[in-house]
Structure 1
Amino acid sequence: MECPAMSDPKIRTMEDFASASGISRPTISKYFNDPSSVRQSTRVKIEQALEQFEYRPNVYAINQNRRQTKNIGIVVPYLADPFFAEIARTIEAQVIQAGYRPVLLGSHGDPEQEIENLDNLRLIKPAGVLLAPLGRASDPARLDAFCRDVPTVLFDANVDGIGAAFVGSDNNQSIGLIVEYLCRTGQPPAFFEMKTPANPNALKRRTAYLNAMKRLGHAPVLVQASGGGWDFEAIGFREGSRVLTDRKLPTNTVLCSNDRLAIGLLSAAYQMGIRVGIEEGCTLRVAGHDDHPFSRYTSPTLTTVSQNYVAIAERSAETLFKLINDESPPTAREITLFEGNLVMRASA
């Protein structure tokens, strides 16, 4: 009796391969764990069947079966940032609900610490990892080496080609949304950003701003803050003070690349006696992006675009669990982007 052809859709899992090849499932599993652990004749038979059916097992699933671990690593750039603390808390709840043990680590904005976190996770043999990478500052070669060994889903910041999947926000949609709103309700906005941002989201937001302004027929204005690191409020305050003192802005509206820069700019305006908002007597409008947990408590409260924390957390976790438990290897890297929602408050 002939075995099914390679194209037979049933040849997808190790059980299907065992049935088609006539070799027991435990023997095949033993071979994939250690080829030298089976007899030479059996090894030859398995390898001939692999070639015939072109079956390639999911290495992630094999490693998971071997390890029998319930640890899930969650790595974020900066745990002191309430944005990452909130999304990590949401992901942690998803992991616990699914019966896994979350291990939460922060990289402190340091690419070496990011790699050290992943190396430390290797020691506890995680079932999988949910990683929000630093982005531009990350070491892509070392990230890729880890992701090839351990089921990994990236969230928040994408590093092209690394990890089995990425889940994040649609920056093009969200920036377009708030630019259109600001143009409709007042003067077109200037874009306040880091000159050399570490997070790839910032670059996507810059491009989205330029595209939106062009689409709406307005000249873009980039206001770039010097300095680096993750102390965005301090940078926003220092560079915002400089920009407001120079009085060279051609508009009374500023869209900040993220809410933390906007919080620094709001503080600078307050110190200089500049009234921010949409009420009579206000001379500056300020908006941000992210709906940072503090943005609803600034003075005035910050107009922004919210990211869907819950949806990002749930999809990231679901994608990882599927990757861990499904023996069918992914055919392509998945990218899932969620749209943002405009949050209109008093600042713009």
Structure 2
Amino acid sequence: MGVTIHDVAARAGVSVATASRALSGQRGVRAENRAKVLAAARELDYEPNVVAASLRSRTTHTIGMVVPRIANPFFATLVESIETQLHDGQRSLLLATSHYDPEVEQRQVRALLDRRVDALIMIPCHRERSGAALTTAAARIPVLQLDLRVDGFAGSWVGVDNEAGLWQVVRHLTERGARSLVFVGAEPTDSAAQARLDGYRRAVGDGEDVLLGDFSKEWGQRAAELLLQRGALPDGIVCGNDTIALGVLGELTSRRVRVPEDVLVTGFDDIPYAALAQPALTTVRQPQQQIAAEAVRVLDARLAGEETALRSTAITPDLVVRASA
């Protein structure tokens, strides 16, 4: 016969109820007793019956998460930050990808609901069409929008203040002596693209110069080609994210345009590749650990019934000045 919860409780010198609460990550267990129970479980190589525990508690200790594209370095590191926060509370993350397709997103949300996740963290891929998937999930479990959001959806959101980040970029370039700027961003199909475009326009005022495509390196390369075809480059190129900026830098370098001597270039997000670019990219850093911690805190409060009011939390990002501007 295998090791049971009774064996773990006896080894730890606590009641079976205390051992059960400690192993399931519930509150109301003293830190000393929790440590004893976890140590006893390791020593005895105890494997809890997860299915039975879920049926008893009506919770699976899992959180679902849907992201537009895991290959995007920003989303990948944000997922890792969320997973770290959840593991601290002995919970698991079930991850799904929408591939920027609202219909796929809807199917992924339904699949996570079928897996009986306790709550859903969603980075909606479209600022309008993702509303159906969010509504479906919110009717059954607590839902949190992360980073991106759906227009008009009544739900909590945690992300970064995109407009504040663009304001910092424009001010920095102006202080560096830039008088002519171009914004290379994405068509505003998601909320970040819209907020960054709005932030740029508010920061520069009248006469803004804007090129819009998507959040890809390929679009950054194409945008740089278009700017070179004009004959005279602007003083600064403000990119909507780091991936675009890496494409711009690559194309300019291949054309023997010097950065920052001939033109200043900035990004947004501070993905891991930003510091490795040639030259290293000046960008806006999203505080992902802080964003993840706040997101999990909001969900925990909802799950515990401690917070029912919907809230939007916009965290101010930091400008990271490197060699490109």
Q: Which category describes the TM-score, using the shorter chain as reference length?
A: 0.7 to 0.9
Instruction: Tell me, in whole angstroms, the C-alpha distance in 1 between the residues paired with 2:61 and 2:172.
Output: 46
- 8 Å contact 1:144–1:163 — kept in the other structure? no
CA RMSD in angstroms, aligned pairs only: 2.1
Tell me the residue number matched to 2:102: 111
Match of 1:320 among 294, 299, 308: 299
Give the alignment's TM-score, normalised by structure 2: 0.78
- 8 Å contact 2:119–2:299 — kept in the other structure? yes
Instruction: Tell me, in whole angstroms, the C-alpha distance in 1 between the residues paired with 2:289 and 2:110.
Output: 28
Identity among equivalent pairs (%): 29
Deviation of 1:96 (Å): 1.4
Spell out the pairing of 1:32-51 with structure 2 (5 A cutoff): none
Counterpart check, 1:269 vs 2:258? no
Tell me the residue number matched to 1:44: none
Distance 1:209 1:193, change over 3 A: same
Tell me the residue number matched to 2:308: 330
Instruction: Tell me, in whole angstroms, the C-alpha distance in 2 between the residues paired with 1:156 and 1:104.
Output: 16
Match of 1:102 among 83, 88, 93: 93
The structure having more radius of gyration, on CA atoms, is: 1
Instruction: Tell me, in whole angstroms, the C-alpha distance in 1 between the residues paired with 2:229 and 2:223.
Output: 10
Higher relative contact order (CA 8 A, sep 6+): 1
Match of 1:222 among 196, 205, 209: 209
Spell out the pairing of 1:57-136 with structure 2 (5 A cutoff): 67-136=58-127
Instruction: Tell me, in whole angstroms, the C-alpha distance in 1 between the residues paired with 2:57 and 2:139.
Output: 16
* Cα deviation 1:92-139 (Å, max 9, x = unaligned): 111111121211122222222211110110111111011111133643
- 8 Å contact 1:225–1:236 — kept in the other structure? no
Gaps of 5+ in 2: 1-54
Counterpart check, 1:193 vs 2:185? yes
Instruction: Tell me, in whole angstroms, the C-alpha distance in 1 between the residues paired with 2:283 and 2:149.
Output: 22
- Report the number of matched residues: 271
- 8 Å contact 1:306–1:340 — kept in the other structure? yes
Gaps of 5+ in 1: 1-63
Deviation of 1:149 (Å): 1.7
Greater shift in the superposed pair: 288-297 or 104-113 = 104-113
Give the alignment's TM-score, normalised by structure 1: 0.73
Deviation of 1:221 (Å): 2.6
Distance 1:222 1:136, change over 3 A: farther
AA of the residue aligned to 1:191? F
Instruction: Tell me, in whole angstroms, the C-alpha distance in 2 between the residues paired with 1:137 and 1:264.
Output: 28
AA of the residue aligned to 1:276? V
Counterpart check, 1:285 vs 2:264? yes
SS of 2:251's equivalent in the other structure is: helix
Deviation of 1:66 (Å): 7.1
